[in-house]
Amino acid sequence: MPEATTVRTTSVTGVTDVQLAADYFHGYAVVGLLAAIGVIFVAVAFGAGRLLRPVVPTPEKLLTYECGVDPVGEGWAHTQVRYYVYAFLYVIFAVDSIFLFPWATVFAAPGFGAATLVEMFIFLGFLAVGLLYAWKKGVLEWT
């Protein structure tokens, strides 16, 4: 005697649990299929490049170079710390400018004016203290 399977339905919509699960996992199946196609596409592209490129290793090709200039001396070079400090200061002020745009849109909304203005001045105060510290330390002077 075959076993009977029961399917529950909701009383309001009449949609079965099996249909709900199928609809739910259908979205994930599409994303998974696109991800698999993307991985396969990249693998085929890299494989074709490896099979089709000429491979003739010479000592000149195995040298490390930068911008087509042959290396001279050791591979280690001393870098001034000030370049990193300039980069760090740039990142700080780039983040500041990124936060100013959403602040301007929220500030224009009704009911957010005073609190948003105080928060932004606190934020700008922290940045100003950091800039003042860098200026006092002489970081901003190029020597």
* Integer Cα distance of 17 and 80 in angstroms: 65
Q: What's the pTM value of the predicted model, to 2 decimals?
A: 0.39
* Integer Cα distance of 107 and 119 in angstroms: 11
Instruction: Note the pLDDT of residue 99.
Output: 77
Q: Work out the mean pLDDT of the chain and round it to a whole number.
A: 78
Residue 100 neighbours by CB under 8 Å, 6+ apart = 120
Instruction: Note the pLDDT of residue 15.
Output: 63
Secondary structure element (H or E) that encloses residue 114, with its range: helix 113-136
Domain boundaries, the chain: 13-67, 79-142
Instruction: Note the pLDDT of residue 96.
Output: 76
**Model pLDDT for residues 20-73, shown as the tens digit of each residue:** 777 778 888 899 999 999 999 999 999 999 999 988 888 877 777 667 676 676
